[in-house]
Amino acid sequence: MRFDRIIAGLAVFAGLLLPGPAEAQSEFPNRPIRLVVPFAPGGGNDLLARYVSGKLNARWGQPVVVENKPGAGGNIGAEFVARSQPDGYTLLLVTNTVTINPYLQKSIPFDIKTDFAPIALLASTPFALVVSPDLPVTSVAELVAHAKAAPGKLSYASTGVGTPHHLGMELFKSLTGTDIVHVPYRGSVPGLTDTSTGQTQVMLATINAAMPFIDGKRVRALGVGERQRISSMPAIPTVIEAGVAGFEVTAWYGILAPAATSPAIQARLSEAVLQAARDPEMKERLGPSGFEITPADAAELRRLIAVDLERWGKVAAQAGIKPE
C-alpha cells in the first residue's frame, strides 16, 4: 500500500511539471505557423501575405511560412484551413471572394460563417468607377442621368461573370435604377482598354489596375467604392458622397483561423496581426501597389463578412446569376 502511495505521489508531481492547456497557450507560438494563400503566387494576395508573415516572424521569432494553395476560386485553400487542427498554427489569408462564391458555386465544402474564426482585417484594394473620356459626363450624377436618358445604350466592362467588378456594377444599377449592359472580359486590362477607346463606356476597376489609365487620362474616374475617400486619390469623391447611398464595393483582405481555435490563441493572433498591419512601414511598402491599409479587429471582420454575404446574395438574385 505504501509503495502504491509513493507511485501515485510521483505521478501527481510529474503532472505538475507538464505544461497544461493554459501554459501551452501562454507559450504560443513555439513552432512554425502556416499562412495559407488560396491563390497562385505572385499576385496582390501573395504580396500582402509575405509582408505580414515577415512582421509576425520578427515579433515571435518563429517562421511564418506562406503556402499557396490555389484552385476553385480560393475554395481549395480555404477548405484546407477549415479542416486543419484548430491550434493557431494554420491560418488563411481571406478575400471577399468567400462572400461571393456561395452565389456562384453550387457546392462549397465549408461554411464561411461557421467553419472559421475571424482574426483581423488587414487591408483593402479600392474600386474606382471610371468612364470613357469620350462619354460626356464628369460626375456620378451625370452618369446616372445619361444612363437613364438612354436605357440599355451604355455598356460596362468587367473581369468576368460573378467577379466583384461585375456584381459591383449590378449593385450600382440596382441602387440607381439604371440599365447598363454587361460585357465580360478576361481581366482588367482588356476591359479598361476597351473602355478607354469607347468600345464600352463604363467600368468598375480596382485602383491598382485603373491608376495607369487614370493617370494617362485614358479613362475618367468619377468615384471610389470605399466608405471614405482614399489616400491615393483624395480629390475623387466616394460614390456614396456622390449621391448613391449604400454603394460600397471593395476587395478586402483578412486573416481567419479554424473555428474551434481557442479564444486565448485567437486573441494572441489578433493582437499580433493588428500590430503588424498598423506598422507605418506597411503603408509605405504596400500603398504603391494599390492597397489601402485598414486594420480592424475580429468583430469588424465578422461584420464585414455578414454584410457582404447579404449584399451579394441580393445582387446575384437581382442579376439572375445562378450557382453552377
Residue matched to cell numbers 437581382: 318
Query: Considering its fold, how many domains does the chain have in total?
Result: 2
Residue 186: its pLDDT value, please? 87
Domain membership of residue 84 (yes or no) is yes
In this structure, the answer to whether residues 105 and 56 fall within a common structural domain is yes
Q: 36's torsion region: left (phi>0), alpha (psi -120 to 50) or beta?
A: beta
Task: Pick the last residue of a domain from 209, 224, 239.
Answer: 224
103 vs 323: CA distance, rounded Å: 5
Q: What is the CATH number of the domain that holds 191?
A: 3.40.190.10
- Residue 65 β-bridge partners: 34
Mean pLDDT of 302-318: 93
Joined together, the cell numbers standing for residue 302 give 465578422
pLDDT tens-digit series, residues 90-136: 999 999 999 999 998 888 999 999 999 999 999 999 999 999 999 99
Domain membership of residue 243 (yes or no) is no
Q: What is the CATH number of the domain that holds 107?
A: 3.40.190.150
Joined together, the cell numbers standing for residue 80 give 484546407
In this structure, the answer to whether residues 91 and 132 fall within a common structural domain is no
Which whole-number Å values give the CA distances from 231 to 37, 101, 104, 106, 235, in the listed order? 27, 30, 33, 38, 9
Residue 321: its pLDDT value, please? 86
CA 88 to chain centre: 20
In this structure, the answer to whether residues 46 and 70 fall within a common structural domain is yes
Phi and psi of 132, rounded to 5°? Answer: -65, 140
Residue 12: its pLDDT value, please? 45
Domain membership of residue 87 (yes or no) is yes
pLDDT tens-digit series, residues 225-268: 998 999 888 999 999 999 999 999 989 999 999 999 999 999 99
Domain membership of residue 245 (yes or no) is no
In this structure, the answer to whether residues 176 and 205 fall within a common structural domain is yes
121 vs 296: CA distance, rounded Å: 5
In this structure, the answer to whether residues 114 and 130 fall within a common structural domain is no
In this structure, the answer to whether residues 59 and 79 fall within a common structural domain is yes
In this structure, the answer to whether residues 138 and 283 fall within a common structural domain is no
DSSP-derived 3-state class of residue 266 = helix
Mean pLDDT of 168-186: 95
In this structure, the answer to whether residues 154 and 118 fall within a common structural domain is no
In this structure, the answer to whether residues 200 and 136 fall within a common structural domain is yes
96 vs 317: CA distance, rounded Å: 18
CA nearest neighbour of 258 among 266, 270, 250:
266
With cut-offs at 50, 70 and 90, classify the pLDDT of residue 25: low
Residue 84 has pLDDT above 70, yes or no: yes
With cut-offs at 50, 70 and 90, classify the pLDDT of residue 5: low
Domain membership of residue 3 (yes or no) is no
Domain membership of residue 267 (yes or no) is yes
Residue 204: its pLDDT value, please? 97
In this structure, the answer to whether residues 131 and 185 fall within a common structural domain is yes
Mean pLDDT of 222-227: 94
Task: Pick the last residue of a domain from 190, 224, 258.
Answer: 224
DSSP-derived 3-state class of residue 164 = helix
99 vs 106: CA distance, rounded Å: 14
Indicate the average pLDDT of the chain.
Answer: 90
Domain membership of residue 163 (yes or no) is yes
Domain membership of residue 229 (yes or no) is no
Q: Output the 3-class SS for 5-25.
A: HHHHHHHHHHHHHCCCHHHHH
Task: Pick the last residue of a domain from 206, 224, 242.
Answer: 224
Mean pLDDT of 305-313: 93
Residue 275 has pLDDT above 60, yes or no: yes
In this structure, the answer to whether residues 79 and 164 fall within a common structural domain is no
Mean pLDDT of 163-188: 94
- Provide the residue range defining the domain that includes 52: 32-124+250-319
DSSP-derived 3-state class of residue 61 = coil
With cut-offs at 50, 70 and 90, classify the pLDDT of residue 197: very high
Residue matched to cell numbers 469588424: 300
In this structure, the answer to whether residues 211 and 278 fall within a common structural domain is no
246 vs 1: CA distance, rounded Å: 76
Joined together, the cell numbers standing for residue 108 give 462549397
* Amino acid at site 93: L
